[in-house]
Structure 1
């Protein structure tokens, strides 16, 4: 099997699928990656600036965003990928 752009896109699709199926109650909260673990800072809000976020908080926000925004596009992308794999063999 050769390395191609399609295989790279397919691997990216698999990673996004893996992020999208993470269950917050069963998995993320147990390891301390739930939404309530992201705490906004204090003095920055008084000045009108967003608080600096840690890497963990940014990853939690990314996981929640992927789960929210990519739900329906993932259904379509998965269906297209399955059809292409069936046609290509």
Structure 2
């Protein structure tokens, strides 16, 4: 009846998380100015953590750090599921 079901929503979310984790910081993100390598702030200065760009960079880094091992397991389960019941 519906075009998208719960299973398709899970597939789309896993694919988007995979896309974020695969982004290379050196090859892609640094070229567009979204790399984490920032110079140390001088005396009395601080990082700009309030901007949308800084929050997005922190989100990408956090997702890459936290979801590395779970994504390996989730992708393996999805591949096995698709091979058996696909």
TM-score by length of 2: 0.81
Structure 1 CA distance for aligned equivalents of residues 39 and 77 of structure 2: 36
Match of 1:28 in 2: 29
Within a 5 Å distance, the mapping from 1:10-89 to structure 2 comes to 10-37=11-38, 53-89=50-86
Moved over 4 A (4+): 37-40
Structure 1: 5+ residue runs without aligned partners?
Answer: 46-50
- Number of aligned pairs? 82
**Relative contact order: is structure 1 or structure 2 higher (C-alpha 8 Å, sep ≥ 6)?**
1
Structure 2: 5+ residue runs without aligned partners?
Answer: none
